[in-house]
């Protein structure tokens, strides 16, 4: 994974050398995402800058990726897992210039309409493609928004795009998140939603059963696809259900190389797993149990509260949000990423997305019926790009480590989301995500397979959240909190902890547009209209910790 930066719609009077220097300087703000190499493309209509993290074809594959005739220039942040299948399906010959999985986008663009070829891709991506002959820009983001992307216009009205907001802050007064599952075509000046699925409507899934074997095999294929790599990799293992399932499946395929369909031994056949927490944390203990059962080379790291507190300003600068839950969970993940990078690992698999697919958050116990349960799943999936996907991607990429998320594989999504939500419902003695646990009986120790949901920020140690609250209580006065709405007109903070995070965010990202890139600035569980409708007590829940879901949370096993 990498970073991209682009300026489109250059004017004839523009000083291209000056703009090139400016583009390079702005792109440097996100070079942590791509420390391996930098590439620049300039012509009369566009400038593209790419900062590369080499995962596939590290010796080649530098970007921007050019077509043989020089007409196409492509800057991509992402991975195209089905690139080999897509190459075989091409109807027109295309002369590939590299071994990069992403170059297939140029070939697809040549022979198909954007809304058609984007739906054929199984991968995570944010890209800017420039067609020199047509003076046309095509910008697109993956269906769920695993890869970040921002856009806006500079003072001269030129369109600018970047992987992270920090590259556009100060340049674009209208900076905003580019929506997932959409593409923008400068030829028509239209933003089009290309990703639509029938399962978004409950009527399309009502009464549909999905066999446990079908669910399990779809997830196994997703994990195997995402082991595509030419560099050392590992798995994040918190000891919770989701990360443990990812690790368990990855361990089954780790010995064979994915890129040649298992014909040869993998370059790094021993699977390494990584966990972090305060001393005595539930996650560290559970991760050790899971790793022991799976036979991974396990690395459990401890951090102190002071180390986490020291990192907070940099965490907020990197993840570009003031959302309380996201910051709490991003800080230990950021510290873990630094440890992982120090060991020479450049890619990890992670468990994000499972809770949004199967209703893993504890408040789903309160759902009154399958229709409302399913509709809340859709809302959660639609919001992932601002929360868990943002956290996993930016926390890891702060240190040049790529996070991949098999639960959000588009083929697996189509299997898991066409299941009637009545099979996913919790309550009345049935634990959350029971349908997923039942599908993987025998893959994990029972104490891991049936461990109750812990939010990551809880699982690293309850002292982490409690300490953050106490620190903010001492740092932010009652008067400051009472005046929060006057200081912060967009999403005013409701707690002292939220106020502290918002103040740090404002130091790095001032202005209304930057503030508006964060939807709500509080837990999506507690801010959910559905959750409040299911249980009125959620309306007053300013604390998004999983422990705040009264009557549901139990101590971790």
Yes or no: say if 153 and 172 are a contact pair by the CB < 8 Å rule: yes
- The residues facing 38 across adjacent strands are 51
User: Quick count: other Cβ atoms within 10 Å of Cβ 198?
Assistant: 11
CA angle (408 as vertex; 105, 288 as ends), nearest 5: 125
Rounded CA gap, 256 and 31, in Å? 32
Rounded CA gap, 431 and 259, in Å? 38
HSE at residue 550, side-chain half, CA atoms within 13 A, is: 8
What is the 3 state secondary structure string of 490-510? CCCCCCHHHHHHHHHHHHHCC
Crossing angle for the helix pair 212-225 and 410-417, nearest 10 degrees?
Answer: 170
Q: Which of 2, 147, 172, 183 is catalytic?
A: 2
Length of the chain: 557
Q: Which among 286, 224, 298, 232 has a CA at the least distance from the CA of 260?
A: 224
Query: Hey, what are 50's tokens?
Result: 């790419």
For residue 75, the SS3 value is strand
Q: How far is CA 29 from CA 23, 34, 152, 171, 388, in A?
A: 10, 11, 17, 13, 22
Crossing angle for the helix pair 324-342 and 462-475, nearest 10 degrees?
Answer: 120
Rounded CA gap, 24 and 41, in Å? 11
Q: Does the annotation count 2 as an active-site position? A: yes
Yes or no: say if 514 and 152 are a contact pair by the CB < 8 Å rule: no
Rounded CA gap, 215 and 221, in Å? 10
**Where are the alpha helices (H) located in 196-323, listed in sequence order?**
202-205, 212-225, 241-253, 282-294, 305-319
User: Quick count: other Cβ atoms within 10 Å of Cβ 533?
Assistant: 15
Yes or no: say if 551 and 364 are a contact pair by the CB < 8 Å rule: no
The secondary element (H helix, E strand) that includes residue 111 is: helix 104-111
- The residues facing 302 across adjacent strands are 277
Rounded CA gap, 195 and 108, in Å? 17
The secondary element (H helix, E strand) that includes residue 138 is: strand 136-141
Q: Which residues are catalytic?
A: 2
């Amino acid at each position: 994974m990498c970073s991209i930066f682009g300026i489109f719609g250059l004017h004839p009077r523009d000083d291209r050398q000056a703009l090139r220097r400016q583009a390079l300087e702005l792109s440097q703000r996100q070079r942590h995402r791509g420390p391996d190499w930098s590439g620049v493309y300039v012509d009369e209509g566009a400038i593209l800058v790419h900062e590369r993290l080499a995962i596939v074809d590290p010796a080649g594959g530098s970007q921007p990726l050019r077509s043989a005739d020089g007409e196409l220039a492509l800057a991509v942040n992402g991975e195209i897992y089905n690139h080999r299948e897509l190459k075989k399906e091409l109807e027109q010959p295309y002369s590939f210039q590299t071994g990069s999985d992403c170059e297939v986008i140029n070939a697809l663009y040549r022979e198909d309409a954007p809304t058609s070829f984007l739906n054929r891709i199984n991968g995570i991506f944010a890209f800017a493609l420039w067609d020199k002959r047509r003076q046309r820009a095509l910008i697109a983001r993956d269906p769920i928004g695993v890869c970040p992307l921002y856009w806006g216009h500079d003072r001269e009205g030129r369109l600018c795009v970047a992987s992270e907001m920090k590259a556009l802050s100060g340049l674009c007064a209208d900076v905003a998140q580019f929506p997932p599952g959409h593409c923008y075509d400068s030829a028509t000046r239209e933003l089009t939603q290309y990703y639509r699925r029938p399962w978004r409507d409950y009527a399309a899934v009502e009464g549909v059963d999905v066999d446990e074997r079908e669910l399990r095999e779809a997830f196994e294929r997703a994990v195997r696809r995402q082991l595509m790599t030419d560099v050392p990799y590992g798995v994040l293992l918190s000891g919770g259900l989701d990360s443990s399932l990812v690790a368990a499946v990855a361990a089954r395929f780790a010995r064979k190389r994915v890129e040649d369909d298992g014909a040869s031994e993998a370059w790094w056949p021993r699977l390494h797993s990584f966990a972090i927490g305060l001393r005595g944390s539930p996650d560290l203990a559970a991760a050790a149990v899971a790793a022991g059962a799976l036979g991974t080379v396990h690395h459990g790291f401890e951090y102190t509260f002071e180390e986490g507190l020291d990192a907070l300003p940099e965490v907020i600068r990197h993840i570009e949000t003031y959302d309380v839950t996201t910051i709490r969970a991003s800080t230990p993940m950021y510290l873990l990423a630094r440890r992982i990078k120090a060991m020479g690992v450049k890619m990890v698999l992670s468990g994000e997305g499972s809770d949004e697919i199967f209703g893993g958050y504890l408040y789903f116990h309160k759902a009154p019926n399958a229709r409302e349960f399913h509709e809340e799943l859709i809302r959660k999936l639609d919001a992932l790009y601002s929360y868990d996907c943002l956290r996993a991607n930016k926390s890891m990429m702060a240190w040049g480590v790529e996070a991949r998320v098999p639960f959000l594989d588009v083929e697996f999504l189509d299997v898991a989301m066409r299941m009637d939500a009545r099979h996913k419902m919790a309550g009345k003695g049935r634990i959350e995500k029971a349908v997923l646990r039942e599908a993987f009986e025998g893959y994990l120790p029972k104490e891991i397979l049936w461990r109750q949901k812990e939010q990551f920020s809880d699982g690293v140690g309850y002292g982490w959240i409690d300490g953050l609250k106490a620190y903010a209580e001492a740092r932010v006065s009652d008067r400051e909190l009472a005046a929060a709405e006057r200081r912060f007109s967009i999403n005013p903070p409701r707690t002292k902890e939220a106020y502290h995070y918002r103040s740090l965010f404002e130091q790095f990202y001032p202005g209304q547009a930057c503030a508006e890139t964060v939807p709500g600035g509080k837990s999506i569980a507690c801010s959910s209209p559905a959750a409040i409708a299911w249980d009125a007590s959620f309306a007053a829940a300013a604390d998004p910790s999983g422990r705040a879901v009264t009557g549901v949370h139990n101590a971790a096993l």
